[in-house]
Amino acid sequence: MGSYSLAMNNNFYASQLNERQLEVVTDTENPVLVLAGAGSGKTRSLIYRTAYLIKEKQVHPWNILIVTFTNKAARELQERLEKLLNIPVRSLWVGTFHAICCRILRFESAHLPFNANFSIYDEDTQKSLLKKIYKEYGFDKQSFPINNILTRISRYKNKLMLPEDIKFQGEDKDSEFATFLNIYRLYQQQLLLNQALDFDDILLWTAKLLLNNNTVREKYRAQFQYVMIDEYQDTNKAQFEIVHQIAGGHQRVCVVGDDDQAIYSFRGASLRNILEFEKDYNSVHSIRLEQNYRSTGNILALANAVIANNRRRHSKELWSELPVGDKPVLAVYENEIEEANRITDAILKLQRKGIPLREIAVLYRTNAQSRVFESALIQAEIPYSIVGGVQFYQRKEIKDLLAYLYVLSNLNDNESLLRIINEPARGIGQTSINRLIGFANKTRISLFSAIQNVEAIEELGNPAKKRISEFCLMLERWQQSVSRKPALEMVKTIVEELELISHYQNSNDPQDIARAENLVEFVTSVSEFSEHFYQENEREPLIADYLPYVALQTDLDRVKENMDSIRLMTLHNAKGLEFEAVFIAGLEDELLPHRMCMNNQDSIEEERRLFYVGITRAKNYLHLSYTKSRRLYDTFYFPVPSQFLTEVDSRLFYHSDGDFGIAQPPKRIKKTNKVITESQKYYKIGQKVFHPEYGLGVILSVDGEGEDARLTISFGNRLAKIIGRYLMKNEE
DNA sequence: GACCAACAGATTTTT
DNA sequence: TCTGTTGGTC
């Protein structure tokens, strides 16, 4: 393809796309709903559609909005588009909802109760903010667990409901709900005081702004003439509203999604949006993409069989012209260590076959499962990259440094200020900090102002005052240059003056060495960002340009594309990716489906979709496994194979362990146990018990009640912690 | 105010 | 198992 004049004519599109895809690309003027099965070329369709708009319809890239699910997807889309068009398309708006909304909020801060340099609080910061509120107002952590409260707040925000939007009638002042509402109100108040938004706020404020402000809405309607949304099945109410406000007028909107791949309902996503798209917009053109270009026939057959068990779905059946290929392997292992080792062996075999490591992925349900794989891979000297897990930007040393940047760009950010006031330690202890906070609250000023006026605080002793004002002078000095000096320079100055890296480097704790390395990597990443930013904007980025970017970065975005390493990640993180070979480990009830999700039909169906997403990542080789026993933290489990395995025809698998077919899953001890009489239901210290693997033992301690009790048991020469239900009691 | 040891508590998925 | 918190000591 030498030039785009040659490339860009209708024949060209027809030669590159199938008929359905071509419809997606060329119907630019109506609302389009694309129901795109896994591997059906939906990203490809979006890219060609954008190219078509720009080249054939002469639409300016500035007038196109594309929302992707991850930053990485946005980047890839832009790169592939530029390659196709042979020109850079910088003015195109491509990004995640959060990134795009951030940009809008910064532009429109004049209409909002916070300024353009607002801070963005991640989950940890949300929690510590809530903890302070609990402390100050005396809320009880037991009756109002922080996590639970945050989830509830998030639910409301995703539905665009601030505390003042929630009506409650007939509830008395002390009711649980009234207290919750009170916490929510205080939390929101604190956020605004700090000039900070949490992740949900970014969507909420954008949606509210577009809903309530005609001028702003018209402005973005006029700008975004063409709107495309990827992964529409995972959008929530706030996201729906944002799209609807922008595209509801001109109706030139194309959404792409697959209800079978909806896996984010815990984040407020609702299938409603994709199921009712045809009602939300006028004369919608629906297009189904069912031809799969990714997986071999046998893999697809399993995928179809698994998802067929879901009831709430648009029925569709993927088909492929690819060869049938190998059957998915189903393997059983003794325990999670053997699972990791044997999978590692299999990986080595694939490598010998010439499959590059980066084309091999190990997927699991929970991050905790990654540890065993890490050690197995280290032992085998196979390089790996973990996607997710303990995230880079969540690390203490990185968050400390980021907190400095937040404070410098937003002096109202008390949370970040508290994080760094004694980090690195400079002798400002809890007592002094409490006095500072007290003073700030009393005089209704920000913490930073309190620090500036430290001399006026009578409660503080002279040494404390001196340290605080030194800290303050340092911040003020940096603050003066923060709107002038490039981000990279600022970061380097801070790191050097605080001696952050050298401080960690001089330690002999390996963890500190790792911290020093992380800080070096952080500086590198700022420099990479700066280079990229310079190319796009022809100026050096400031801290204010860097922070909104980094706040929305995830670990997903950090994996080096070309690095030849095995990818380890959760099933959630695997969405949108594809690999030559995929291993899915831990296919056991209570893990997949996860025990938190086994109590209702809807969440089981979501878990099944998660499994489906995992299966459909594989191009040629799929390997599934479960174990007979698994240790999680300090407890042994004896799992049963996932119901998702037993509910499909076992002939869909190649059973790697000969006679150990899925047709006869290991018996569930709980079910086969004799009738237990009332008096036997509870475990007692000293009681004799029988365990199918360890034999006879004596209970040493009991934690909890009944079948769920956690027992410490002595089996002759070894101790084990075991859940009650996995035991058989000895006849007494 | 800094440091350390003991202890409790939580362990689903993420922009 | 691991992390964060608390309570005690110097």
CA of A568 to C1' of B2 (A): 40
The per-residue pLDDT for A7 is: 46
Q: Among A125, A195, A261, A344, which one carries the catalytic annotation?
A: A261
Model-level pTM? 0.87
CATH number for region A319-383+564-655: 3.40.50.300
Q: Is the CB of A621 within 7 Å of strand B?
A: no
pLDDT confidence tier of residue A107, bands split at 50, 70 and 90: very high
Question: What's the half-sphere exposure (Cβ side, CA atoms, 13 Å) at A269?
Answer: 21
Of A132, A717, A174, A721, nearest to A419 by C-alpha is A132
For A711, the token pair is 């027992």
Burial of A716 (0-12, 13-18, 19+ CB in 10 A): exposed
pLDDT reading at A352 higher than 70: yes
Nucleotide C1's nearest residue (CA vs C1') is A633
Nucleotide nearest to A371 (CA to C1'): C1
Q: Among A231, A259, A413, A607, which one carries the catalytic annotation?
A: A231
Give percent of chain A with pLDDT exceeding 90. Answer: 49
A483 C-beta neighbours (distance < 10 Å), count: 12
Give percent of chain A with pLDDT exceeding 70. Answer: 86
Tell me if A374 sits within 8 A of A362, measured CB to CB: no
Measured torsion, CA atoms of residues A199, A205, A208, A213, in degrees rounded to the nearest 10: -150
Nucleotide nearest to A721 (CA to C1'): C1
pLDDT reading at A560 higher than 80: no
CA of A710 to C1' of B6 (A): 22
The neighbouring-strand residues paired with A229 are A67, A255
Q: Calculate ∠ Cα A254-A255-A258, nearest 5°.
A: 145
User: Would you identify the CATH topology of the domain A10-110+203-289?
Assistant: Rossmann fold (3.40.50)
Omega of the bond prior to A424 within 30 degrees of 0, cis? Answer: yes
The per-residue pLDDT for A18 is: 92
Q: Among A16, A43, A291, A553, which one carries the catalytic annotation?
A: A43
pLDDT confidence tier of residue A57, bands split at 50, 70 and 90: very high
pLDDT confidence tier of residue A723, bands split at 50, 70 and 90: low
CA of A147 to C1' of B5 (A): 28
A423 C-beta neighbours (distance < 10 Å), count: 18
Of A20, A24, A12, A73, nearest to A49 by C-alpha is A24
Q: Is the CB of A459 within 7 Å of strand B?
A: no
CA of A147 to C1' of C3 (A): 16
A182-196, A369-383, A446-460, A623-637: least confidently modelled range: A623-637
Q: Among A157, A327, A609, A617, which one carries the catalytic annotation?
A: A617
For residue A398, give the 3-state DSSP assignment. Answer: helix
DSSP run (H or E) holding A141: none
Q: Is the CB of A147 within 7 Å of strand B?
A: yes
The per-residue pLDDT for A367 is: 83
pLDDT confidence tier of residue A602, bands split at 50, 70 and 90: confident
Q: Is the CB of A704 within 7 Å of strand B?
A: no
pLDDT reading at A555 higher than 90: no
pLDDT mean over A101-125 = 93
Q: Are strands A64-68 and A32-36 parallel, antiparallel or unpaired?
A: unpaired
One-letter amino acid at A464 equals A
A149-158, A354-363, A700-709: least confidently modelled range: A700-709
Identify the residue whose tokens are 């952080």: A522
A72-81, A332-341, A619-628, A708-717: least confidently modelled range: A708-717
pLDDT confidence tier of residue A171, bands split at 50, 70 and 90: low
pLDDT reading at A677 higher than 50: no
Q: Is the CB of A658 within 7 Å of strand B?
A: no
Q: Among A42, A208, A252, A515, which one carries the catalytic annotation?
A: A42
Nucleotide nearest to A236 (CA to C1'): B15
Active site residue A42: yes
Flag residues 366-385 of A with CB < 7 Å from strand B. Answer: 366-368
Taking only the tens place, the pLDDT of each residue in A154-169 is 999 999 999 999 887 7
CA of A217 to C1' of C1 (A): 51
CA of A428 to C1' of B3 (A): 15
Q: HEC states along A204-265?
A: HHHHHHHHHCHHHHHHHHHHCCEEEECCHHHCEHHHHHHHHHHHCCCCCEEEEECHHHCCCH
In this structure, which long-range contacts are made by residues A264-270, counting pairs with CB atoms below 8 Å and at least 24 apart in sequence? A264/A234, A264/A572, A265/A602, A265/A603, A265/A606, A267/A154, A267/A158, A267/A234, A267/A236, A268/A154, A268/A155, A268/A158, A268/A159, A268/A236, A268/A237, A268/A238, A269/A233, A269/A234, A269/A235, A269/A236, A270/A235, A270/A236, A270/A237
A202 C-beta neighbours (distance < 10 Å), count: 26
The per-residue pLDDT for A330 is: 93
Which bases of strand C have any atom within 7 Å of the beta carbon of a protein residue?
Answer: 1-3, 5
CA of A430 to C1' of C7 (A): 15
Active site residue A261: yes
Q: Is the CB of A552 within 7 Å of strand B?
A: yes
Q: Which residues does A381 contact at the CB level (< 8 Å), separation at least 6?
A: none
Tell me if A606 sits within 8 A of A588, measured CB to CB: no
CA of A448 to C1' of C10 (A): 33
Nucleotide nearest to A571 (CA to C1'): B13
The per-residue pLDDT for A728 is: 58
A109-113, A248-252, A320-324, A506-510: least confidently modelled range: A506-510
In whole angstroms, what is the distance from residue A234 CA to residue A189 CA? 29
CA of A249 to C1' of B14 (A): 31
CA dihedral (A688, A689, A694, A700) positive or negative: negative
The per-residue pLDDT for A138 is: 80
Q: What b/e readout covers A163-187, taking b as 16+ CB neighbours within 10 angstroms?
A: beeeeeeeeeeeeeeebbbbbbebb
pLDDT mean over A517-544 = 90
Nucleotide nearest to A366 (CA to C1'): B12
Class (C level, CATH) for A119-194: mainly alpha
Residue intervals of chain A classified under CATH 1.10.486.10 are 392-557
Tell me if A35 sits within 8 A of A289, measured CB to CB: yes
DSSP run (H or E) holding A330: strand A329-333
DSSP run (H or E) holding A718: strand A718-723
In whole angstroms, what is the distance from residue A677 CA to residue A501 CA? 63
Identify the residue whose tokens are 């009830």: A589
Which bases of strand B have any atom within 7 Å of the beta carbon of a protein residue?
Answer: 1-3, 10-15
For A413, the token pair is 């950010």
A614 C-beta neighbours (distance < 10 Å), count: 27
For residue A608, give the 3-state DSSP assignment. Answer: helix
Flag residues 237-266 of A with CB < 7 Å from strand B. Answer: 263-264, 266
Tell me if A296 sits within 8 A of A268, measured CB to CB: no
pLDDT confidence tier of residue A731, bands split at 50, 70 and 90: very low
More confident residue, A663 or A326: A326
User: Would you identify the CATH topology of the domain A670-731?
Assistant: SH3 type barrels. (2.30.30)
CA of A555 to C1' of B15 (A): 11
Tell me if A327 sits within 8 A of A305, measured CB to CB: no
What's the whole-number average pLDDT of chain A?
A: 85
A100-114, A195-209, A648-662: least confidently modelled range: A648-662
In whole angstroms, what is the distance from residue A617 CA to residue A574 CA? 7
pLDDT reading at A361 higher than 70: yes
Taking only the tens place, the pLDDT of each residue in A443-492 is 989 999 999 998 888 888 888 888 899 999 999 999 999 999 999 999 99
Q: HEC states along A415-479?
A: HHHHHHCCCCCCCCCHHHHHHHHHHHHHHCCCHHHHHHCHHHCCCCCHHHHHHHHHHHHHHHHHH
A120 C-beta neighbours (distance < 10 Å), count: 20
Q: Among A230, A400, A415, A590, which one carries the catalytic annotation?
A: A230
Binding site residues of A, as ranges? Answer: 36-43
In whole angstroms, what is the distance from residue A39 CA to residue A643 CA? 25
In whole angstroms, what is the distance from residue A550 CA to residue A523 CA? 12
Flag residues 502-531 of A with CB < 7 Å from strand B. Answer: none
The overall longest dimension of chain A from CA atoms, in Å, is 87
Taking only the tens place, the pLDDT of each residue in A204-258 is 999 999 999 999 999 999 999 999 999 999 999 999 999 999 999 999 999 999 9
Nucleotide nearest to A123 (CA to C1'): B14
CA of A263 to C1' of B12 (A): 12
Residue intervals of chain A classified under CATH 3.40.50.300 are 10-110+203-289, 319-383+564-655
Flag residues 208-237 of A with CB < 7 Å from strand B. Answer: none
Nucleotide nearest to A394 (CA to C1'): B14
For A377, the token pair is 């891979």
Active site residue A647: no
The per-residue pLDDT for A498 is: 87
Residue intervals of chain A classified under CATH 2.30.30 are 670-731
Class (C level, CATH) for A392-557: mainly alpha
Active site residue A230: yes
Active site residue A235: no
Active site residue A179: no
Binding site residues of A for ATP, as ranges? Answer: 36-43
For A438, the token pair is 């007290």
Nucleotide nearest to A461 (CA to C1'): B1
